[in-house]
Amino acid sequence: MEHKPVLLTEVSNYLRPEPNHFFIDGTVGLGGHAATLLSQVLPGGRLLGIDRDAANLERAKKHLSEFEDAVVLVCDSYANIRVHAQAYGFNQVHGILLDLGFSSVHVDDPERGFSFKSDGPLDMRYDRTQSLTAEEIINSWSEDDLARIFRQYGEERQARLVAQAIIKTRAQTPFRRTHELAELVAHTVHQHGKIHPATQVFQALRIAVNDELGELQRTLPECVNLLASGGRLAIISFHSLEDRMIKQFFKTCSDLKVLTKRPVVPTRQEQLENSRSRSAKLRVAEKI
Ligand SMILES: C[S@@+](CC[C@H](N)C(=O)[O-])C[C@H]1O[C@@H](n2cnc3c(N)ncnc32)[C@H](O)[C@@H]1O
CA of 146 to the centre of ligand 1 (A): 25
In a mutational test of the pocket of ligand 1, which residue from 30, 80, 103, 203 has the highest number of ligand atoms less than 8 Å from its CB? 103
The pLDDT of residue 191 is 79
The pLDDT of residue 1 is 42
pLDDT digits (tens, 9 = 90+) for 149-182: 999 999 999 999 999 999 999 999 999 999 999 9
Ligand 1 atom closest to the CA of 2, numbered from 1: 9
The pLDDT of residue 276 is 87
Cα→Cα distances 233→15, 65, 96, Å: 8, 25, 5
Domain 8-104+212-287: CATH architecture, name and number where available: 3-Layer(aba) Sandwich (3.40)
Burial string for 220-245 (b: 16+ CB within 10 Å, else e) reads: bebbbebbeeebbbbbbbbbebbbeb
Stretches in the chain below the pLDDT threshold 50: 1-2
Ligand 1 atom closest to the CA of 25, numbered from 1: 6
Cα 222 from Cα 225, distance rounded (Å): 5
In a mutational test of the pocket of ligand 1, which residue from 6, 39, 48, 51 has the highest number of ligand atoms less than 8 Å from its CB? 51
Where does CATH 3.40.50.150 sit in the chain? Answer: 8-104+212-287
Residue nearest atom 25 of ligand 1, based on CA coordinates = 53
Assigned CATH topology for domain 110-210: DNA polymerase; domain 1 (1.10.150)
CA of 262 to the centre of ligand 1 (A): 23
Where does CATH 1.10.150.170 sit in the chain? Answer: 110-210
| pTM (predicted TM-score) | 0.97
The sheet carrying 46-51 orders its strands as: 71-75, 46-51, 22-25, 93-99, 227-237, 281-287, 256-258
The pLDDT of residue 193 is 80
Q: Name residues contacting ligand 1 (CB within 6 A).
A: 5, 26-27, 29-33, 50-53, 56, 77-79, 99, 101-103, 126, 210, 215
Cα→Cα distances 240→213, 219, 222, Å: 11, 18, 22
The pLDDT of residue 3 is 59
The DSSP output letter for 17 is -
256-258/46-51 β-pairing:
unpaired
Report the SS3 class of residue 257: strand
